[in-house]
Chains A and B, each alone.
Chain A
Amino acid sequence: MPSSSTELTARSTMITKGIEFSGVSKSFTTRAGSVQALVDFDLTVDDGEFVAILGPSGCGKSTALRIAAGLEHADAGGVRVGGSSPEKMISAGSLGVAFQDNALLPWLSVAANIALPYRLTSRPVDKARVDSLIDLVGLADFSSHRPSQLSGGMRQRVSIARSLVLSPRVLLLDEPFGALDAVTRHRLNVEFAGIIAKEASTTLLVTHSVEEAVFLADRVVVMTGRPGRVKLVAPVAFGGQRTKALMATPEFVQLVLQLTMALDDDAGVDE
């Protein structure tokens, strides 16, 4: 069960086993000059907590996630993941990732794609674990299919299952449902909430969709446009069990509206 920390102040100040960004800055050099992606970015995700980052495009939210994944390095400040460094987490195989690009290998079957992390980290394949994840994401009849034979939604399910297969301490998700149509995205959100409830781990989700963030997360972080800073942190007090019915409640609609407005303040800065 994800701990539903409902208040900002309730979070512990000791070293978390989750994710901790402290004073992270990152800039990129492009043809147009230097772009500040993140400036003095602070965020703590508690152990077992699910945090979603919302923000205008180009606000540096993906950069933050990539720094936590060890794919980018901060210019200043530090990041601790699972109580140690991203590099240590990588060598321990304790990270799980899913991106908007599903990054499935087209020459492998669904089952082999899900089992891939075992092979990449030189571990024996736990066949039972792979099968149970295939069941969990509802692809039992497709385990020997290849990605090209699946719909976009099915491919994302495979990608999610793959991210969970090693039971990662920390799960990092960058727009995993971003390439899907609204209806499929909605359905996968509901399914994914159920999966998360079973596979509890510390999760950081980056998304454009306010509904998705509010529906899935324990806390939602809204970022400002360039340079990226934390603008607002909103606790989501809907508890552990998220079902479809939640989306119709006035509280849910109210929170979505409030966060949408907060995001909108920034419009015009971006682009």
Chain B
Amino acid sequence: MNVAAARARRSGPETSAMVLPVLGVIILLAVWQLIGTADFLGRSIPPPTDVVSAMQDNWTVLKRALSATLGRALVGGAIGYAIGLLLALMMVVFPASTKSVERSGVLVNAIPIVALGPVLITMWTRPYIPVIFAAMSVFLATMLAVGDGLRAAPRSSTDMFGVFGAKRRATVLRLQVPTALPMAADALKLAIPAAILGAILGEWFGSDRGAGVLMVSAMRNVQYGLLWAAAVLAALVSVVFYGTASLLERFASKRFGRATELTDTRVASRPGVIGIATVAMVVVVVALWQLWIMTGDVPQIVAPKPVGVLGAMFDNRFDLGPALTTTSLAFGGVVAGAVVGLVLAVLVTMLPWLRSMLAPLALLVPTIPIVVFIPIMGSVLGYGTQTVFAACVLMAFFPMYVFALSGLHARPPGSDDLFAVYGVGRFRTLAYLALPSAVPTLMVAVRLAAASAFLIALSAEWLMGRGGLGRVFSERRVVLDTNGSWAAVVVAISLSVLAYAGATKLEKVATARWRT
């Protein structure tokens, strides 16, 4: 019997397995209703009943906003997905290009997309920002997953095709593409929340309608019911599309067999080479930029010269303060989120009933674009750095929890029996076996969190108008200081890439030490 069927069976209609998750959802809704009606945490948390009535009252507005966002997410997501597929195919057709394509992809992905917002706003790209962000949020994961899939054909099959003298085209079409289909469906599944996230982020950079705009205006006009209604509906749309893609993925896995699991550990290695690639790419980008300004006669207000931006970075109006603020918010948020996630994962490992109760949450959260929570957090916690911090914590918490949970169970084969034969108790097993086993997986989570920490910190800062670099973007833009806003962009991108490289290095060290 295959894995999918076994999984279906496990989640089958066994009452005991169903009760706790349902109970978990009911408790969550009840607590929310209680907090909402009793105003424990202020007016900004409306009870679920109010959210539902806000949905009914504002149905037309919500429908128009969501369909705009969904349209952008789908167009952008499709473009990003197509680019990812093409790049993956290119890597297979020209294997020599694999390393450089992958490295540049990882590098581009380490750039927080919002940092490009202030740049894209000044150019013809302005109306397409949501689409561009959606595409950028999708392409890398697609490229890596499909690339893996295309290379995942078993060695014996490749050899068999070789022995029969199959042409390259036949090998690609009849072996590699079918092998890659489950992974391509998997990537499609992951692309959906990512594209919606990109579209909403993009809408914050001056779009006139869409769910992102609606959320921000509801936040500023203290329409909490509408704000939550928009966030809940955006999350629901994401869940529905994710669910559809999951069915597709399950079908593809069943029909074509699954050769590999989706991993993102593979591209983690070789930070040194990534460093060199970074420098090379920066040089090329700066040269093209200078050339564009010189030949195109671009007005200063649209795009400044590299020299001007460099000047602004060292100018007395620009100090290290904002960069430090953003870095400490992002870093602190990742650390706090990681600790909370790890502690919860350990608790859940020790208390299986808690795990069952949290299961629906663990299933839903990855399907929801996390940025929909930022305006809500702003309205609950206040428009300041505390919200920026909380957003980073939330962002880091979830991957940490999920990865820690699987890491705590990724023990060396046979070690559980060994510990049982020595009569080892739970706590000692945790200390000697589960926690050390989880280290490599935890490092993957830290790396992923490091990449998105700056993205979330900058988005929240931009939206709140508080904090570090994100606030600087918006302030400089208002006073038409293009040099200044681009300088902030350059600093943000550099910090983000550095953080990613640091986390990658950390992961490599930990993996070498802890993995078999």
Contacts and interface: CB of A to CB of B under 8 A. Distances in A.
Given A106-B412, A106-B516, A107-B436, A120 B420 contact: no
Contacts of B9: 31
B413 interface: yes
Contacts of A254: none
A120 B439 contact: no
A266 interface: no
B421 A69 contact: yes
Interface in A104-123: 104-107, 116-117, 119-121
Most buried by A among B413, B417, B433, B515: B417
B412 A93 contact: no
A101 B417 CA distance: 10
Interface in A134-177: 147-148, 172
Given A99-B414, A105-B415, A106-B516, A121 B422 contact: yes
A102 B1 CA distance: 28
A107 B414 contact: no
Contacts of B516: 104, 106, 147-148
Contacts of B428: 120
B161 to A, nearest CB: 29
Given A31-B9, A107-B513, A147-B516, A90 B421 contact: yes
B416 to A, nearest CB: 8
Contacts of A119: 432
A103 B415 contact: yes
Contacts of B513: 107
Contact of A97 (B418, B423, B436, B439): B418
Contact of A69 (B415, B417, B515): B417
Interface in B485-516: 513-516
Interface string A223-256: 0000000000000000000000000000000000
A91 interface: yes
Contact of B412 (A31, A97, A100, A101): A101
Main secondary structure of the interface of B (DSSP, over half): helix
Contacts of A99: 414, 417-418
B276 interface: no
B424 interface: yes
Interface string B339-371: 000000000000000000000000000000000
B481 to A, nearest CB: 52
Contacts of B439: 107
A147 B412 CA distance: 11
Interface string A66-91: 10011100000000000000000011
Contact of B421 (A97, A104, A106): A97
A148 B515 contact: yes
A133 interface: no
Interface residues of B, number: 24
B176 to A, nearest CB: 31
Contact of A91 (B413, B419, B423): B423
A95 interface: yes
A71 B420 contact: yes
Given A101-B414, A105-B415, A95 B421 contact: yes
A120 B412 contact: no
Given A31-B9, A148-B515, A117 B422 contact: yes
A2 to B, nearest CB: 22
A70 B418 CA distance: 11
Nearest to A103: B414
Most buried by B among A31, A105, A116: A105
Nearest to A31: B1
Contact of A106 (B419, B420, B514): B514
B96 interface: no
Contacts of B6: 31
B414 to A, nearest CB: 3
Given A105-B433, A106-B516, A120-B432, A90 B415 contact: no
A116 B433 CA distance: 11
Nearest to A91: B423
Interface string B100-138: 000000000000000000000000000000000000000
Contacts of B414: 99-103
Nearest to A90: B423
B1 A120 contact: no
B422 A120 contact: yes
A103 B514 CA distance: 14
B432 A103 contact: no
A93 B417 contact: no
Nearest to A32: B1
Nearest to A69: B421
Given A31-B6, A107-B514, A90 B412 contact: no
Contacts of B420: 69-71, 90
Nearest to A96: B421
Contacts of B413: 101, 103
Given A101-B414, A106-B515, A121-B424, 8 more contacts: A69-B417, A93-B422, A103-B414, A103-B417, A105-B412, A106-B412, A106-B516, A120-B419
Interface of B: 1, 6, 9, 412-415, 417-424, 428, 432-433, 436, 439, 513-516
22 contacts: A69-B417, A69-B420, A90-B420, A90-B421, A90-B422, A91-B423, A95-B421, A97-B417, A99-B417, A99-B418, A100-B414, A101-B413, A102-B414, A103-B417, A105-B415, A106-B514, A107-B439, A120-B428, A120-B432, A121-B422, A121-B424, A148-B515
Interface of A: 31, 66, 69-71, 90-91, 93, 95, 97, 99-107, 116-117, 119-121, 147-148, 172
Q: 4 smallest A-B Cβ distances: which pairs?
A: A101-B414, A103-B414, A101-B413, A106-B516
